[in-house]
Amino acid sequence: MQKQVVKCLWLMGSGNPSDSAFVDRFQQEARIAAEMTHQNLVRVTHVDRLGELHYLVMEYVEGEDCARRVERTGPMDEETALTVLLGAARGLGYAHQRGIVHRDVKPANLMISAHGEVKVIDLGLARAIDSTRQLGATIGTLGTPLYMAPEQWQSANVDATADVWALGAVLHFLLTGRSPIPEHATDTAT
């Protein structure tokens, strides 16, 4: 039997108008992820709801994310870093060809399996490129500040180039162990 991971969104009460935006976001994530089948993207195997608990079930990736790997062993050598980057770029390219932008590419969202496969995980901020303006306006700017493209700071309406920019920032981290953006710089940008 294959191991799987459950990712949940728990909604507290129904009186808050933002609840529907979060439900819409989660359901969109689930639909998008369930349609994606690529060796470098984590597979979603089941999407469901139990009362106000919305959840999806994803394949379990035995291994560790790139942030933990660099923390544990130090910066990667060039060949390993480029292998990781190529795997991530292939998975993201597949998503981009289908009109999907991830919006939260970062070392912690790139897994290296026990067999050396690279998997892009956490499509939690993924958006259909055509719907970024409407949904982004509802829920605000999303992403991880240290890896966000400059245009993502200004608008939720981003395209695949934001993921490409983030991949460059991830490569810098993999090779140096540091984000190219100093942590204190993100305090003034928001």
Dump pLDDT digits (tens) for 13-43. 444 445 677 777 777 767 777 888 999 999 8
Q: Are residues 67 and 55 in the same domain?
A: no
Q: Which DSSP category does 76 fall into? A: P
Distances (CA, A) of 161 to 68, 103, 105, 116, 168: 26, 10, 12, 26, 11
Q: Are residues 179 and 143 in the same domain?
A: yes
Instruction: Calculate what percentage of the chain has a pLDDT beyond 70.
Output: 73
The model's pTM is 0.77
Boundary residue ending a domain (59, 88, 106):
59
Boundary residue ending a domain (16, 32, 59):
59
Q: What are the tokens at 156?
A: 């939720």
Q: Are residues 142 and 164 in the same domain?
A: yes
Q: Are residues 47 and 76 in the same domain?
A: no
User: Residue 136 sits in which domain range?
Assistant: 63-189
Over range 56-75, report the average pLDDT.
93
CB 33, CB 44: distance < 8 Å: yes
Q: Are residues 155 and 105 in the same domain?
A: yes
3-class state of residue 47 by DSSP: strand
Q: Are residues 51 and 80 in the same domain?
A: no
Q: Which residue numbers are catalytic?
A: 104
Q: Are residues 110 and 172 in the same domain?
A: yes
Q: What are the tokens at 16?
A: 């808050």
Q: Are residues 162 and 72 in the same domain?
A: yes
Q: Are residues 28 and 93 in the same domain?
A: no
Looking at residue 139, what is its pLDDT?
Answer: 36
Q: Are residues 108 and 169 in the same domain?
A: yes
| DSSP element (H, E) containing 50 | strand 44-50
The more confidently predicted of residues 67 and 184 is: 67
How many Å apart are CA 28 and CA 19, to the nearest integer?
14
Looking at residue 150, what is its pLDDT?
Answer: 76
